[in-house]
Structure 1
Amino acid sequence: MLKRHYHALVLAFQFLTRIPVYKVFSIANTVPTPQVSGKALLYYPVVGAAIGGWVVLLPAALNHFGILVGPQLQAALVLVFWVWITGGLHLDGLADSADAWLGGFGDKQRTLDLMKDPTCGPSAVVVLVLTLLLKWLALSEVIHFAQTAASWWWLMLVMVPVLARLQAMVLVVHTPYVRGEGLGTQLKNQVQAKWVWFWVMILVTLMLYQTIALSSAMLATSALGYALMRRLMMQRIDGWTGDTAGASIEVTELLLLLVMAVSVSVDL
């Protein structure tokens, strides 16, 4: 049992990041069973915490050593690293979903077919550019404020990728998988819903302990964003796919960064 969970944790990092775990952990070179593939979903928030930790490391280190680099440049470097460490996986899902939603004309099968198309249309390009631009601007505000704010502000930034992957976990558990076979089938069939509530309680408690106002705003935004995105998926394709799950992660991260950026001016 422990070996399965250990393999699932390593598999979650293999799937969601570019971290070369196969060079460190020999089990990463073992073909996972369907049970292990399903359990990997349980560790998505852990992967999010690792990504968040690396995201805050650069600006925090620069601030600690007194290296005078503007917040705009720091945000750009952080965003480049953020995209690199995830391999652009979720951005790819966002691009495919954008093309499919705008080009599907409300038809389920056409939307699903477009998501399989490897080419990137103008809709995808526009959505990707706007998403990265807004992320960069929001990160600039967050980093600039965090350099003079309390230490818990960095923790809130770490929670951005954590909450984004938690909502993907909720999406998989509580939403039908559209395609008949694939990794999504294993995730849907194996995961247990009780783990969702375990992660929700742990993260909510941790966040509210640090700051009630900002945490409440971030949690409410994450929940509302999830509800709206799930509704769109159910209306258009009657469920989720890997592309829409990836898109939901990107959108959630963007919304949470915007909430943090706005909170700077309203003093949450």
Structure 2
Amino acid sequence: MMRGLLIAMGFLTRLPVPAHAYDDPRARADSLAWYPLVGLLLGLLLGVLAWLLRDTASLLSAAMLVAAWVALTGALHLDGLADTADAWVGGMGDREKTLAIMKDPRCGPVGVVAVVLTLMLKFAAVASLGPAPWVALLLAPWLARASLTALFLTTPYVRSGGLGAALADAPRQPCMAALVLSAVGCVLLGWRGIVALALAALVLALGRRACLRRLGGFTGDTAGALAEMVEVAVLVVLAVR
């Protein structure tokens, strides 16, 4: 099971993990249950950085936090967001055309705009969180990765041979346990955690519905887009207070 954690960390972050962790094919499927914990780890790292930057001007601190966020994740989900935005607009409602555009490595203007708007909203939200931003910084990446676990458990993966194909066979019980523990943790954080949990569930439901209508399931790119949308939604709502 620990190899599953290492694989989850290696895929979702740019934190170094031993190369031998990838030798076990079964561990790839087991890694899905560890996604929420990796999100929690990202949130803790961001919270520590926010504490270290507590005496820095709010705008500069927010810019550094968002930059660190992108660096820690390798812009993995931002890439999926860009591809999904391009495909959703360019696909014009056609399933096969949408899937074909998502496979194109080039980024179109819609994808660029989606990434810019996402980073702008994250920056503005982080700058508006006030003197104790750690709760929102903890919840956003945590719930975003938990939403990916929930998405794989409830929705067909339609890209045969894609990066997420191995996760389709993930054991359900550990994944469900991880989601339950994440929900309990959010509730223990008080009203902010409860609001963030409800909001993440809503974004997941809407994103899943859109993917089922257009594709009959989801791809790795749409999963990345979902993670970004959950992060933005949680940050913005908690910043608005």
The TM-score, its normalising length taken from structure 1, stands at: 0.86
Is the aligned partner of 1:9 residue 2:5? yes
Aligned-pair distance for 1:219? 1.2
SS of aligned partner of 1:82? helix
The CA RMSD measured in Å over matched residues stands at 1.4
Residue of 101, 109, 112 corresponding to 2:96: 109
Q: Which moved more, 1:31-40 or 1:98-107?
A: 31-40
Question: Counterpart in 1 of 2:237?
Answer: 259
Q: What is the Cα deviation at residue 221 of structure 1?
A: 0.6
Q: Deviations over 1:75-122 (max 9, x none)?
A: 100000000110011000000000000000100000000000011100
CA distance in 1, matches of 2:162, 2:111: 24
Q: Which amino acid aligns with 1:18?
A: R
1:169 is aligned to 149
Say which SS state the counterpart of residue 168 (structure 2) adopts: helix
Conserved 8 A contact 1:37-1:183 = no
Structure 1 residue aligned with 2:195: 217
Aligned to 2:181: 202
What CA deviation, in whole Å up to 9, does each residue of 1:211-258 have, x standing for no partner?
Answer: 1x2222111111110000000000111111110111110110000001
Which whole-Å CA distance do the structure 1 matches of 2:23 and 2:60 have between them? 41
Are positions 1:240 and 2:218 aligned together?
Answer: yes
1:82-161 mapped onto 2 (5 Å cutoff): 82-142=69-129, 144-146=130-132, 154-161=134-141
State the 1:154 CA deviation. 2.0
Offset of residue 184 of structure 1: 1.9
Q: Which structure 2 segments of 5+ residues have no match?
A: none
**Percent identity between the two aligned chains:** 41
Residue of 158, 171, 191 corresponding to 1:192: 171
Unaligned ranges ≥5, structure 1:
23-27, 147-152, 264-268
Aligned length: 241
Give the TM-score of the pair, scaled to structure 2. 0.95
Render the CA deviation track for 1:109-147: whole Å, top value 9, x for unaligned. Answer: 0000000001110000111111100110001111x241x
Identify the residue that residue 21 of structure 1 maps to in structure 2: 17
Name which of structure 1's ranges 32-41 and 101-110 shifts more when overlaid on structure 2. 32-41
Secondary structure of the residue aligned to 1:21 is: coil
Which residue of structure 2 lines up, in the alignment, with residue 25 of structure 1? none
Q: Check the 8 A contact 2:204/2:226 in 1, yes or no.
A: yes
Q: Write the letter of the residue equivalent to 1:188.
A: A
Q: Which moved more, 1:115-124 or 1:198-207?
A: 198-207
2 CA distance for matches of 1:208 and 1:156?
13
Name the CA distance, whole Å, in 2 between partners of 1:121 and 1:62: 35
Per-residue Cα deviation, 1:10-46 (whole angstroms, up to 9, x for no partner) = 1111111111223xxxxx3354333111001111111
Matched letter for residue 56 of structure 1:
G
Equivalent residue of 1:208, what SS?
A: helix
